[in-house]
Amino acid sequence: MHDTAMPHRSLVAFSLVTVYVVWGSTYLALRYGLEGFPPFLMGGIRLVVAGTALYLIARWRGSAAPARIEWRNALLTGTILFIGGLGFVTMAEDNGVGSGLVASAVAVMPLWAALWSGLFGRWPTRLEWIGLAVGLAGVAMLSREGDFQGSPLGTVLMVLSPLMWAFGSVITSRLRHPKGLMGSAAQMLGGGVSLTIVGMVRGERIVGTPGVRAWLALAYLAVFGSLVAYTAYAYLLAHTRPAVATSYAYVNPVVAVVLGVSFGDEVVGGWTYAGLPIILLGVALVGLAQMRRSQVPVDT
């Protein structure tokens, strides 16, 4: 299968729907998985399984094994991405923060990405600065929600998580990685190894036999949350503008809040309803500024 100059619209649309719905649902799946697995070990198992499967698929399709420097870079970026973007999120939920609330806090990720890009020579425009200020004001409002008030650690983790995911996303494009599926596989394997090591250092152990719901959640996270959705996200990063690829930040919190309230018996208060639209407005302003600044399609 060869990439074309203009990616097929249906494949782009399918990838967008995948990251919108699947990543929005993973926050509730994480909560169910925590019923039987500790946070970092669960993430490690999920990524090692998904990364190994994707590695074998990539090799079967003819991709070369990563070079030593590519493994090193994948380990570095995978650690940053998944310790922050997955490990800290799971820890926050393990400390009693609701899945919908966690997703709402993570929605600020594109704002951090704009700031990190500035440190690498592309500072935000005036509209992006306005978006950053608006989005961070929404996060400040969200921090007043009951779950965060009752878990100071959860508040800290929810600031660090999107910050680290954004940093990992920015430097991934600046370091040599394998192309296509192999790049995603190497990053997941690197992140999975790091999460497993951190979990063991923290003294995490799987106590007893996890229940059926926890196993189903882990399987869903590995197959759909990692193997399918992360591959779709990598495709979007390679074939669309960054503002399009990161647009999942608008939708994931809404999906997560609806699922958390409908199926997870979660209760959200007034600060969530006030803070979430403000965060999404900030993200929208940043996305609008990026679209204005980059009107040409990404070369493929």
pLDDT value, residue 72: 95
Q: What is the pLDDT of residues 12-53, one digit of tens each?
A: 888 888 998 999 899 899 989 999 999 999 999 999 999 999
Going from N- to C-terminal start, the domains of the chain cover 9-293
Distance CA 93, CA 115 (A): 26
Between CA 127 and CA 256, with CA 292 as vertex, the angle to 5 degrees is 70
- Burial zone of 80 (CB within 10 Å; 0-12 exposed, 13-18 middle, 19+ buried): buried
pLDDT value, residue 25: 93
pLDDT value, residue 76: 94
CB 218 within 8 A of CB 45: yes
C-alpha 31 chain-centroid distance: 16
The reported pTM is 0.79
> Ramachandran region of residue 122, left (φ > 0), alpha (ψ -120 to 50) or beta?
beta
Q: Which residues contact 294 (CB under 8 A, 6 or more apart)?
A: 241, 242, 243
Q: What is the pLDDT of residues 58-104, one digit of tens each?
A: 999 998 999 999 999 999 999 999 998 889 888 888 877 777 677 77
pLDDT value, residue 94: 84
CB 273 within 8 A of CB 140: no
Q: Give the chain's residues under pLDDT 50.
A: 1-5, 7, 296-300
pLDDT value, residue 297: 46
65 secondary structure, DSSP code: P
pLDDT value, residue 60: 94
